[in-house]
Structure 1
Amino acid sequence: MKVQYIAVVAVAIAQVQSFTPMPAGRTPAFRRQSWSTTQIEATGVFFGTSTGNTEEVADLLVAKLQELGHDTPTEPICVDGVVGELKAEFDKYDSLIVGTPTWNTGADIERSGTAWDEVYYGELGDLDLSGKNVAVFGLGDQLSYGDNYADATGELHDVFSKLGCKIFGATEVDDSYEHEASKAIKDDGKFCGLLCDQVNQDDLSEDRVDKWVRQLQGEGFMSGGGESAASAAPVVEAVPTAVVSEPVKSITTPPASKPAVKVVRDGWVGHDNGESTLWVNSENRRESYLTKN
């Protein structure tokens, strides 16, 4: 009996001595088999990249989505790693944000220089994405390629549009851009999505991402439903005024032609007093109210 006990102890000690600790930063095998492979999350961010600039903007998008409380994986997904599995990957998400750099400037097709070019007119073209919410973003160098700024973003938009997706997130071509021409500008005179320039205007990217994600939020993009940017009623930005010290009592009734609009704003609560939409802070003090133009 004593001999058996000693043998068992010896085996246990040998097993402990033979154990090799897992290096720092490594994930156990069972952890690598993530439950996210079957969990449906609201928004997936997919990108292609040549130099890493598009990935930087994709990271900003993921961080902003999470900051505003939207479900998304902790990292964006590089399209190079999912070629051949696009349907399975896209099916995991209610809404898709897809991004690309521009490499083959001036070309009629396959302008990204990434794995997007490999799937545009093959694997991706065979998918049925009818009704899927999609928003596009892209990068370009306005000073070196001012006549072809972010051209590939326009192609990315066109390919997904032809698959029956609902496209969101068109943006204004404002004075902060310095390009001469772009295939990302559509017939309505707007960019087809979010455009950034990490070469010349990287200091503007974070603010552009913040504004765009909040725009998508207002358009109902993250809900998996809503209306596309082409058909949705315009969202009017509420301009905060100075906080007043007394609780809200009443607001002048807007004209019948300007009905109240309820818009979710981060950190604010929409309060409908029957006359107009009023934004109040957590202490029920007035900040501003919003009516539709």
Structure 2
Amino acid sequence: MIMKVHVLESLLTVAIATTVWSPAVFGFVVPRVNNHAAGSITALSANVGIFFGTSTGSTEEVADLIKAEFGDDADGPFDIEALEGPVKSTFEKYDALIVGTPTWNTGSDTERSGTGWDEIYYSTMQELNIKGKKVAVFGLGDQVSYAENYADAAGELHDVFESLGCQMCGYTSMEGYEHEDSKSIRGDKFCGLLCDMVNQEELTPERVENWVAQLRAEGFFEGGSAQGASAATAAPVPVTVNETPDGLFETIQEHSDMLDETIKVHGSTGFIPHYNGKTKSTMWVSPDGRSCYYTTEARSSSSVSM
């Protein structure tokens, strides 16, 4: 089959002679394919950044675990106190944000993190244009020593971003914790991932893994700037119909019989049809685009069975 198709390709080359063979000659609609996008995700992909504040390094450890789960799907993690450049431009360049904080000013109404977050909550961050961005919060606390104020600061971090019009994601169950109360509770859930590196450190890796999987399931990566559509979803681009070279289709028809017979023997070939309404002919192109043959409406009964 392949040998005969290549024979037809050679005949096409001779028949066309000095005419440059291109889809435009036949007036077909041909999909525009970006070869560099092959194997990439087909949905629009969000550009994600991971940010944290820390005092002892524990929040950074959790941020590193989150980054490991996200892999190349997220940038960071970045310490909020060590950002290079303005906070505004740094946050606004991302489609989605993962933000984390510990809790130190336990029981305080505001500025509860004891980190650089407290310095920008009600000043610099109020100037951010991040409405509609997806944001997920993680927080650390000691649920035994501070049972009534477990991870309070995560609640404030959540509320600041929510007040800026962000779409909050990643709420988690309170099951498995020993706290009595927390300012991070929203309804019957925590407002994000809460980790206790003092009393339940051994549970942190699994909690992080489950949380990242949850974010993926919630569509956290969808709706951002396109990283490139796959060839299968590329939009067709119409091309101009030019005059058909004299005698071309006569030559094609003469040699399509042997291809039809071979197709009957070997069944479906996976060739993709491109119909030309002007000539009433169909060009069948191989998946790799390197081989083709033609059928006409009069011979439609012998066309490839797709």
Secondary structure of 2:188's counterpart equals coil
Map 1:1-293; keep pairs closer than 5 Å: 42-66=47-71, 70-73=72-75, 75-82=76-83, 85-174=86-175, 176-186=176-186, 188-224=187-223
For residues 207-232 of structure 1, what are the alpha-carbon distances to aligned partners after superposition, in whole Å with 9 as ceiling and x for unaligned? Answer: 0001000000000012246xxxxxxx
Query: Aligned with 2:81: secondary structure?
Result: helix
Q: Which whole-Å CA distance do the structure 2 matches of 1:122 and 1:223 have between them?
A: 30
CA distance in 1, matches of 2:85, 2:112: 20
Shift of 1:143: 1.2
Preserved CA contact (<8 Å) 1:138 1:194: yes
Q: Report the alpha carbon displacement of residue 157 of structure 1 after superposing the two structures with TM.
A: 0.3
Mark the runs of 5 or more structure 2 residues left unpaired by the alignment: 1-44, 225-306
User: Percent sequence identity over matched residues?
Assistant: 59
* CA distance in 2: counterparts of 1:201 and 1:92, whole angstroms: 35
Q: Give the direction of change, closer, same or farther, for the CA distance of 1:41–1:164 in structure 2 (3 Å limit).
A: closer
Paired residue type of 2:197: Q
Tell me if the contact between 1:185 and 1:192 (Cα under 8 Å) persists in the aligned partners.
Answer: yes
Task: Return the letter of the residue paired with 1:49.
Answer: T
Letter paired with 1:91: E
Equivalent-residue separation in structure 1 for 2:168 and 2:153 (angstroms): 16
Alignment partners' CA distance in 2, 1:166 and 1:132: 6
Q: Which has the higher helix share?
A: 2
Show the counterpart of 2:230: none
Secondary structure of 1:223's aligned partner: coil
Partner AA of 2:190 in structure 1: F
Q: CA deviation at 1:106?
A: 0.3
SS at match of 1:44: strand
Q: CA deviation at 1:84?
A: 6.6
Query: Which amino acid letter does the alignment assign opposite residue 137 of structure 1?
Result: F
Partner of 1:18: none
Count of matched residue pairs: 180
Q: Which has the higher contact order (CA 8 A, sep 6+)?
A: 2
How big is the shift at 1:41?
6.9
What TM-score does the superposition give when structure 2 sets the normalisation length? 0.57
Larger Rg: 1 or 2? 2
- What letter is aligned with 2:60? E
CA RMSD, Structure 1 to Structure 2 (Å): 1.6
Structure 1 residue 125, shift from structure 2 partner: 1.3
After superposition, give the CA deviation of every residue in 1:39-73 in whole Å (9 maximum; x if it has no partner).
Answer: x972110000010000000000000001xxx5223
Amino acid in structure 1 at the alignment position of 2:79:
C
1:116–1:84 CA distance, 2 compared to 1 (3 A): farther
**Residues 100 and 156, structure 1, Cα contact 8 Å, conserved in 2:** yes
Aligned AA (2:57) = G
- Measure the CA separation in 1 of the matches of 2:173 and 2:126: 29
Please identify runs of 4+ aligned residues in structure 1 that moved more than 3 A: none
Uncovered stretches (5+) of structure 1, i.e. residues with no partner: 1-39, 226-293
